[in-house]
Structure 1
Amino acid sequence: MRRLPGDGNGREPVPPPVQPQLSRRVIGSQMVPLVTQIRSYELITPLFGGGVEPGETDPVTVIRGPEIRGQLRFWWRACRGGRFNGDLAAMKEAEDELWGAASTERKPMPSQVEIMISIEQSGESKHPFEVVAGLVDGRKDQPKPKVKANEIVAPAYAAFPLQPSEKEMRAGGIGMQTKTVRTKVCFTLKITYPEKRREEVEAALWAWETFGGIGARTRRGFGASKLVSVDGKPVTPSRANEVEAKIRKGLQKHVVSGTWPASVPHLSLNPRMKVTGRRSDPIAAWEYLVKCLRDFRQSRYPGASPRQPGRSQWPEPDEIRRLTDRRCDRHARSLSTVRKFPRAAFGLPIVFHFKDEKIGDPYDTILQGRDYERLASPLILRPLACADGAVGLAVVLEGTGVTVLPDSLILRKKEEVDISWPVEAAIEAQEAQELSPLNGIPDVLQAFLKKL
């Protein structure tokens, strides 16, 4: 029997999957016309996660269909959830009807949207961090493991979850293998849906392509995509000075006017948003966004030297010292009279670590919700590719964040769950005048956008 040809590397060929071209389908008791599109994308920032191991990418199944479906469900809610007049059950029923849900014998709930993913280019594995030799008290004969960031791959401030811990570095030593991301990933999305659902699906696609991404930490810019072509026809991106007007036009077209159910993140027809100036490429635009976020969140008074930064201009450190009744001599005087935790606006949890714990400052504490630990950041940062380079986009989702749950925060001791204090995050107008980073603006996220 004649053997089938291999690929030259000893591997047998794998036949391509059968992909029938559907033009009509029975939904309920009706035969409905279908729309099928083939949309090609390339990732303009690294892909973070998505593999079997937490925080690791999968070189085989780089991008999965269910992941895309989940993104589209989210952005459908963000665009179309306002038409249900705040009725969560009604929104969930409509969502399940379109995107599918767990089926039973009496109530089958298949998705009306079919998604197929083809990986055109699986990309390259890159290390945002590496472990190199550091010095102990300046002595070259006693090196110790030290983390070095590779900013060419990803901004270190955005990629911090990929950074190895001190315990991992002690175990792995100098040169240990750190977690990776994938760059230069290209894929094709084949999507089929009923013609009568075109407006809803196109709204989800537009919002995902504009504000979303693939994988983990998309709200900090990882996994941002660029639409390359639709049905084989190249998509020409806007010029940098046209991007904001195009986004606002898309919001008017795809976002409904109405009332969303409580605590459902969504877009607004007039969002808190900022589009930065043009940069040479998407990575440069991303780096600018992340640097601005880092500088804003870490605002400090001038220090004695660059290696000895001054104390924080935010009120949380002094308030933690008050609550824990721990304070080292060099921080004996409080710099802030505001007894709030305004940086909760960027998402939870937040771990507070004091480098002077051994000489009297507080132990590690965690800011979180009273009845929940995690609260996703309402702030989205990502680059957008343009015909003449790239711009950075910052937008705040409505219906989420600590402003929705203002009285449900606690600060607790990291190692002892039973030791906690109720705290507040919302800033009053007078308090905003006292906090230098806010420059008199009580809305923390709006103050950040103003500094971009």
Structure 2
Amino acid sequence: MAWTDFQLTVTTPLFNDDDPTVGLRVSSVRGAMRFWFRALAGTVYGSSVPALARAEQKVFGSTEGASPVRLRLTCQPTARAMIKAGEPAAFLAGVPSEDHEPGKWVAYLLGQGHAAKRRPGWVTTRPHTRPGHRFTLKVGFSGDPAVDSLVLASLWLACAYGGFGARTRKGFGNVRLTYKGGPLPEGPWREHVPDSPEFDHYQELDHLPVDGPLKICADLLTGLVPIPESADGPRGAPQPILGVGNTSATLADFAEDSWEAVAAETGERYRRFRASVAHRSPDPGYKPPIKTPEYETVIHGTDDRFSLGALGLPVNYKGGAKVTAYKEGRDELRRASPLWFRFVENEEEGTWGLFSFAFHNPFLPADQDLSIRLTGKRVENKNVYITDEDVHERTRAWMESIRGPVS
């Protein structure tokens, strides 16, 4: 088999939670590619989930048969390129913040599961690959132009907008894709070299488009699985999909000289965006003394509209209060944030910026057995609700906020 080589250059710390003993697994790469394949295929199949699933199986395989395209990873990082859990990480040190705690706002983006406060600063609690490391992804194409072009479209999307490993929605696990050599499939990727886009690509976007080679690849889907007569177009799709009306995007108007500094600025802005009101106590034990409006109106109030949850569930509060979704009143469901961050480099200017985008698919599936509840020992346990309009309003407000000075 002839292999085609692509270089994956890590640009932000990559947390491979599937297996912390190596930098990256093929399963992690393939899983991200599947997500972006569905985002592209949804523009064709709309609400017809079975048709989309059949197309995905033809490209990526299923439990009944392997994918016709093979993937291999080489150049796994050595100890020098890996940071162990509990070790100081350069990106959590030396980043200025309001209260001079190095790395505080970058750690905020990482979350408690991946960062922790240790004297005198912050550490990561899970191993990760340093930015700058280069993997080689070897692809053995199937010989089917449609399948191979769609695999490459999925890889390009994962590297252009997403990432690999954990916390990709918050800007971690980003990689730059570079074609190094080997046969490319017949179709659009021979004319459009599948390298990651440059900075000006992100400057021009107000949504995630389906154009150029992506449009050609989307048109190839019907040759794999015809569109069912019952399909009602992209707006009926339950999952995240690309395109106008289904996504929104913007490039922030601030720039810094490193991704760490952009991440720190983003973390502080995002905290202030979520927690937009002053705390009743001027010294609640943390800085800045701010809280989410819903803490008063919903958690300790009578309101039942929990719009903050549109940015992801569950939401946990001090004292054990929690808002999350349940199926049939028992099984907890997670709702990943529809909002994504990506730190992009402007090589000409020697600076970095924040590219942020959001998906506008339904917040939760239309299922009568689903509910969203507030629970806790010190609060009134009750049903609350989150609307699709909350998703639109919150993500729109975020994008407007990063095009102006921090409040």
Confirm or deny a common fold (TM above 0.5).
yes
Structure whose alpha-carbon radius of gyration is higher: 1
> Does residue 411 in structure 1 map to residue 367 in structure 2?
no
Q: Which amino acid aligns with 1:220?
A: K
CA contact (8 A) 2:248 2:358 kept: yes
- Measured in 2, the distance between the counterparts of 1:216 and 1:127 equals 14
What is the SS of the residue equivalent to 2:334? coil
> Does residue 394 in structure 1 map to residue 362 in structure 2?
no
Distance 1:352 1:176, change over 3 A: closer
> Does residue 119 in structure 1 map to residue 75 in structure 2?
yes
Distance 1:227 1:246, change over 3 A: farther
Of 314, 325, 328 in structure 2, the residue corresponding to residue 349 of structure 1 is 314
> Does residue 368 in structure 1 map to residue 347 in structure 2?
no
Of 204, 208, 213 in structure 2, the residue corresponding to residue 245 of structure 1 is 204
- Measured in 1, the distance between the counterparts of 2:175 and 2:305 equals 37
Distance 1:201 1:90, change over 3 A: same
Of 167, 172, 197 in structure 2, the residue corresponding to residue 217 of structure 1 is 167
Give how far 1:206 is off.
Answer: 2.0
CA contact (8 A) 2:208 2:244 kept: no
| Deviation string, structure 1 residues 115-149 (Cα, Å, up to 9, x no partner) | 0111254413166787xxxxxxxxxxxxxxxxx97
What is the SS of the residue equivalent to 1:219? coil
**Residue of structure 1 in register with 2:149 after alignment:** 199
CA contact (8 A) 2:209 2:243 kept: no
- Measured in 2, the distance between the counterparts of 1:425 and 1:410 equals 11
**Residue of structure 1 in register with 2:242 after alignment:** 267
* Structure 1 unaligned blocks of 5 or more: 1-19, 22-35, 104-108, 131-147, 324-337, 354-362, 433-440
- Measured in 2, the distance between the counterparts of 1:43 and 1:405 equals 40
Give how far 1:62 is off.
Answer: 1.5
Residues 237-246 or 293-302, more deviating: 237-246
| Deviation string, structure 1 residues 259-295 (Cα, Å, up to 9, x no partner) | 2764312222352111124432333333332222112
Identity %: 21
Summarize the alignment of residues 301-340 of structure 1 with structure 2, pairs less than 5 Å apart: 301=278, 304=282, 310=289, 312=291, 314-322=293-301, 339-340=304-305
- Measured in 1, the distance between the counterparts of 2:290 and 2:76 equals 49
- Measured in 1, the distance between the counterparts of 2:30 and 2:82 equals 25
* Structure 2 unaligned blocks of 5 or more: 89-99, 183-192, 220-232, 403-407
Give how far 1:81 is off.
Answer: 2.1
Of 10, 15, 37 in structure 2, the residue corresponding to residue 48 of structure 1 is 15
Give how far 1:47 is off.
Answer: 1.4
Q: Which amino acid aligns with 1:345?
A: A
State TM-score, norm by structure 1.
Answer: 0.66
> Does residue 190 in structure 1 map to residue 138 in structure 2?
yes
CA contact (8 A) 2:251 2:354 kept: yes
**Residue of structure 1 in register with 2:61 after alignment:** 100
Residues 296-305 or 183-192, more deviating: 296-305
Q: Which amino acid aligns with 2:32?
A: Q
Give how far 1:42 is off.
Answer: 1.2
Report which structure shows greater RCO (CA 8 Å, sep ≥6). 2
- Measured in 2, the distance between the counterparts of 1:403 and 1:279 equals 39
- Measured in 1, the distance between the counterparts of 2:39 and 2:248 equals 15
**Residue of structure 1 in register with 2:223 after alignment:** none
Distance 1:70 1:365, change over 3 A: same
What is the SS of the residue equivalent to 1:370? strand
Query: How many residues matched?
Result: 348
CA contact (8 A) 2:47 2:238 kept: no
Give how far 1:404 is off.
Answer: 6.9
State TM-score, norm by structure 2.
Answer: 0.73
Give how far 1:203 is off.
Answer: 2.1
Summarize the alignment of residues 74-85 of structure 1 with structure 2, pairs less than 5 Å apart: 74-85=35-46
**Residue of structure 2 in register with 1:157 after alignment:** 108
